[in-house]
Structure 1
Amino acid sequence: MTTRKTNRLSALQRLARGLLLGTAAALSLAGAASAAGELNVFNWGEYINPEVLKAFEAETGIKVNLSTYSSNEEMLAKVQGGTTGYDIVFPSVWMQDIMAKLDLLEKTDINRYEGFKNIDPAFLRAKSDPQGEYCLPYAWGTVGIVYNKKVLGKDITGWNDLLATVKEKGLKIGLLDDMREVISVGLILNGKDVNTTDPNDLTQAAETVIAMKPVVSAFSYDTRPMVMAGELAAAHAFVGAMIDVFANPDLEGYVIPEEGATMYQEDICVLKTSPNKDNARKFLEFYTKPEIVALNIAQQTNGTANVPARTMTPPQIAESKEINPPEDVMKRLQIFSDLGQAVRLYDRTWTKIKTAE
């Protein structure tokens, strides 16, 4: 899932950031160094606008140290392995539930903070934290298809449309090198739940994906540049691909498949082992500010649970149905949950898909 987190700044993002930097500058002038010490942030690679961290430092006087990881599993392994010093992490909601079971998360009572009123309750998705007593919703997005309009010669509506077009024209596509996302394509195309534990559903999903393999050039997180260059007609992609679309609207498009799609959401959580819990809580409070969330979104092109922030982002983002899908599209989105021991069924299904000729 690395590529979702490694969005590159396009000309649009640099412009949007410039428009919003005044916010950070104002905070720098208004915010006295009311606190001291450090905050050790452990996040996905490039999954936060550096200007947000600078604004936090300016307002609080707290020095931020940023470390990164490339997957939920890597983050959990380091936290469980005794790596010390991290204060806050950004798990996907299903990983947050796992970490809650392992008693790794600190109760912050962020839901009692005044700024929490800005959070859309629909994004309190963690089963272990339905009231938001532990973690703060951070960012969310969809997993769809980024495509080259000139290579395909058309806009597409979803997987079936894409597959029919590339087969007819002898073109190639890319799929993510991600077990659950790829299996979910097969499940969704067969009308199944992406969290199913039924072996028959998984067998059917595997057969569907394997049937796609003749037009699949690669399983990779790094296919976006290949789509832009025309080497691939389209690729399975996270909504961060909207950066490319905004920069090249005549060349590229991004679609949430009409058949349905997955969505992701990460939350900001404080670790029980955090050496700087007070500073960590300050960051959660800071990130309830709409202007700060908007500053982040302008560079990240993710969706947000912070309702006022949605109207403060650049028009291309605020008005984008890909980043902020309408209600009828939201109903077609599914989010992963913790599979427990059933993850072994998915492991076997993934091996079957990857090794099939």
Structure 2
Amino acid sequence: MKTHILALSAAMLAASTATAFAEGKLNIYNWGNYTSPELIEKFEKTYGIDVTIDGYDSNETLLAKVQEGGTGYDVVMPGDYMVKIMIEQGLLAKIEPDQMENFNNMVPEWVNVWWDEGRHYSVPWQWGTTSFTVDGEVYKGDVNTLSLMFDPPPELVGRINMLNDMNDVINAGLRYLDYPRCNDNPDQLRTLTEMLVKAKEGWRTMDYATIEKLTSGDVDLSQSWNGAAMRARKQRPTLVYAYPKEGFTGFMDNVAVLKDAPNMDNAKLFINFIMAPENAALISNFAGYANGIAGSEKFMNPDMIDAPEIVMPEDAPTPEFVPPCSKQVVDYYNKIWTRLKQ
């Protein structure tokens, strides 16, 4: 009955606003290969709005682009720590999603989050984990250890792809060495740098295109997000997603509206639209991640409900959501990253 009522209210909202926003526009800036075409088509038909989508490959790319100003974008999908940074820099509009019609569908644990307490600027898009996936036929040992990336066995040497992402690579390295995150200890950072530079000798590439790298057979192990790992496994069934004993990152990508959005009203319509369970499920069915909207499970593809990349084993460590580091730490990390990319 609740779902029926929600669907009815969404239909009434569409009927009352479609005319007002006919021939309108919405410009989305999202991670590449992360937006459900079915979702966009449904939104366009519901409200008579033309949607355009551009892609980026990292939170830092997003931030740099928005800081330039005058992007013409309305909606962006920053990760958890980047939401906080963009709020602090005055880049996001305070759109008050907590006052929107579909906000009551949000899973309570995702409301009072440290990056947007009470949800005044953002709503969930997708959430998941960052670990790695490896071909279980190529490597037949225990996959649940970061040593496969940083001290790989012979069969994986030269067959590894790492994300081209400073935070993900450095945080994984810190966990492997059992050092704390947001680390400003010079001795530990020196050891980390030496370890990463040596480990790089066994890597083939550093690339965000994890699905393509794995499904093409270019590599046998790739640092990856769990949703991308599931999508890759559907094409290469021998792939196994790891839950390293040393720990791994949890993340949530969020939907927010830029403060200078040229189509502010349409952006708010989109925010409310994706909090409807059936629409949130369209995002998950395409991207392969959980979404933070209660009731969406009923509309998800059956193979997602018990996918090993989505459902963590009971003995897996708790994912760690890493907050933004201080400028001093970021400066250290940039130096390490520059050295690693040489």
TM-score (norm 1): 0.82
Partner residue, 2:3 = none
Inter-partner Cα distance in structure 2 for 1:112 and 1:326: 36
Length, aligned pairs only: 329
Partner residue, 2:230 = 242
- Taking the TM superposition and a 5 Å limit, the aligned residue runs for 1:15-26 are none
Contact 2:30 2:76 survives alignment (8 Å): yes
CA separation of 1:53 and 1:28: change in aligned 2, threshold 3 A: farther
Q: Which secondary structure does the structure 1 equivalent of 2:153 belong to?
A: helix
Contact 1:288 1:306 survives alignment (8 Å): yes
CA separation of 1:311 and 1:192: change in aligned 2, threshold 3 A: farther
Q: Which secondary structure does the structure 1 equivalent of 2:116 belong to?
A: coil
TM-score (norm 2): 0.85
Contact 2:35 2:287 survives alignment (8 Å): yes
- Taking the TM superposition and a 5 Å limit, the aligned residue runs for 1:30-179 are 31-32=14-15, 33-36=18-21, 37-124=24-111, 127-153=114-140, 156-160=143-147, 166-167=153-154, 172-179=159-166
Given candidates 297, 300, 310, the residue that maps to 1:323 is 310
- The answer to whether the aligner puts 1:195 opposite 2:182 as a matched pair is yes
- The answer to whether the aligner puts 1:313 opposite 2:297 as a matched pair is no
Partner residue, 1:206 = 193
Inter-partner Cα distance in structure 1 for 2:58 and 2:149: 29
Inter-partner Cα distance in structure 1 for 2:65 and 2:83: 15
CA separation of 1:44 and 1:173: change in aligned 2, threshold 3 A: closer
For structure 1, the 5+ residue unaligned runs are 1-23
Q: Which secondary structure does the structure 2 equivalent of 1:42 belong to?
A: strand
Partner residue, 2:280 = 293
Residue 84 of structure 1 and its aligned partner are, at CA, apart by: 4.0
CA separation of 1:252 and 1:109: change in aligned 2, threshold 3 A: same
Partner residue, 1:4 = none
Query: Greater CA deviation, 154-163 or 126-135?
Result: 154-163
Partner residue, 1:350 = 337
CA separation of 1:327 and 1:130: change in aligned 2, threshold 3 A: farther
Contact 1:143 1:261 survives alignment (8 Å): yes
Inter-partner Cα distance in structure 1 for 2:53 and 2:183: 36
Inter-partner Cα distance in structure 2 for 1:351 and 1:84: 28
Q: Which secondary structure does the structure 2 equivalent of 1:41 belong to?
A: strand
State the one-letter code of the partner of 2:233: V
Residue 110 of structure 1 and its aligned partner are, at CA, apart by: 0.7
Residue 203 of structure 1 and its aligned partner are, at CA, apart by: 2.4
CA offsets 1:35-66 (integer angstroms, 9 cap, x no match): 31222222222221011111111222222222
Given candidates 266, 273, 287, the residue that maps to 1:279 is 266
Inter-partner Cα distance in structure 1 for 2:312 and 2:269: 31
Structure showing the higher helix proportion among its residues: 1
